[in-house]
């Protein structure tokens, strides 16, 4: 028992027991258990994390480990071009569709026979002209080689499905195709044809198509 106050006026204060007596109601015990549980939860998860929506200490490590795995391995453009197969060579008996009619008043840049020869060589020899660049600036139209100046689309066997009329009006396209045909008929390999064409035209023109190298 603790005595406080003056000698004349002393008050007796009985200390309150820190533990509930046997006569305490049951809800006091339940309240104590809940209080301990709430304190444990807040100790494990700080209030700042709950308010800001931040992850706990374990979450960033898990995310970092997962994000460190590469998604894919990109392939560089030169490897992609080199790995693309050439168009199948058309069968020897492939029938060429007729060339489209010329507009009225159209002036041919080369004789009609020379233009027809350029179209025929491009149609029957995609294994050559798909690896020979063009220098007229037609890469702006999506052309990737001299063959695209003459052939717009092909069938599954490599035969011509539709012509491209660009080659009819372009002297550079026609000359590159005819020079390639002459070199090929003389026995030059496709790689030698390309080297000879580039040596002849690169010094005269500042641009060329993004043509893949021969296999």
Q: What predicted TM-score, i.e. pTM, was given to this entire model?
A: 0.61
Q: What is the pLDDT of residues 162-208, one digit of tens each?
A: 999 999 999 999 999 999 999 999 999 999 999 999 999 999 999 99
pLDDT value for 142: 95
Q: What is the pLDDT of residues 45-103, one digit of tens each?
A: 443 333 333 433 333 333 333 333 332 333 333 433 443 557 899 998 899 999 988 88
Any domain includes 27 = no
| Tokens standing for residue 158 | 């490599």
CB atoms within 10 A of CB 102: 14
- Structural domain of 159: 85-201
What is the band of 35 on the pLDDT scale with cuts at 50, 70, 90? Answer: very low
Angle at 160 between CA 153 and CA 162, to 5 degrees: 50
Any domain includes 114 = yes
CA-based diameter of the chain, in Å?
A: 139
Any domain includes 148 = yes
Angstrom distance (rounded) from CA 117 to CA 184: 14
SS3 179: helix
pLDDT value for 70: 36
Any domain includes 26 = no
Domain count of the fold of the chain: 1
Please, which residues bridge with residue 4 across strands? 11
Any domain includes 115 = yes
Any domain includes 119 = yes
Q: For residues 199 and 38, which has the higher predicted lDDT (pLDDT)?
A: 199
What is the band of 134 on the pLDDT scale with cuts at 50, 70, 90? Answer: very high
Any domain includes 90 = yes
Which residues, including other chains, have CB under 8 Å from residue 68's CB and lie 6 or more apart?
A: none
Q: Which of 26-35, 57-66, 114-123, 155-164 has the lowest mean pLDDT?
A: 57-66
Average pLDDT over residues 136-164: 96
Total residues found in the chain within this entry = 215
- Cα pseudo-dihedral 162, 165, 166, 168, rounded to 10: 130
- Cα pseudo-dihedral 105, 108, 114, 117, rounded to 10: -70
| Tokens standing for residue 110 | 């080369």
Helix axes 171-185, 112-124, angle to 10 degrees: 60
Among 194, 114, 115, 122, CA closest to 154: 122
Query: For 27, how many CA atoms within 13 A lie in the half-sphere containing its CB?
Result: 0
pLDDT value for 136: 96
CB atoms within 10 A of CB 172: 19
Q: Which helix (H) or strand (E) holds 37?
A: helix 26-44
Angstrom distance (rounded) from CA 204 to CA 207: 9
Any domain includes 132 = yes
């Amino acid at each position: 028992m603790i005595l406080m106050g003056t000698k004349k006026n002393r008050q007796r204060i009985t200390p309150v027991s820190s533990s509930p007596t046997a006569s305490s109601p049951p809800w006091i015990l339940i309240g104590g258990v809940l209080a301990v549980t709430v304190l444990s939860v807040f100790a494990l998860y700080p209030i700042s994390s709950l308010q800001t929506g931040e992850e706990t200490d374990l979450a960033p490590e898990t995310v970092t480990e997962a994000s460190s795995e590469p998604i894919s391995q990109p392939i560089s453009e030169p490897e992609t071009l080199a790995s693309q197969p050439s168009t199948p060579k058309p069968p020897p008996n492939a029938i060429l569709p007729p060339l489209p009619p010329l507009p009225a008043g159209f002036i041919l840049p080369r004789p009609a026979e020379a233009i027809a020869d350029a179209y025929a060589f491009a149609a029957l020899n995609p294994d050559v002209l798909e690896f020979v660049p063009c220098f007229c600036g037609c890469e702006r139209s999506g052309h990737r080689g001299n063959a695209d100046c003459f052939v717009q689309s092909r069938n599954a066997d490599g035969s011509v499905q539709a012509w491209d009329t660009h080659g009819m009006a372009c002297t550079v396209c026609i000359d590159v195709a005819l020079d390639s045909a002459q070199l090929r008929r003389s026995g030059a390999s496709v790689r030698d044809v390309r080297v000879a064409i580039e040596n002849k035209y690169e010094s005269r023109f500042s641009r060329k198509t993004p043509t893949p190298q021969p296999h």
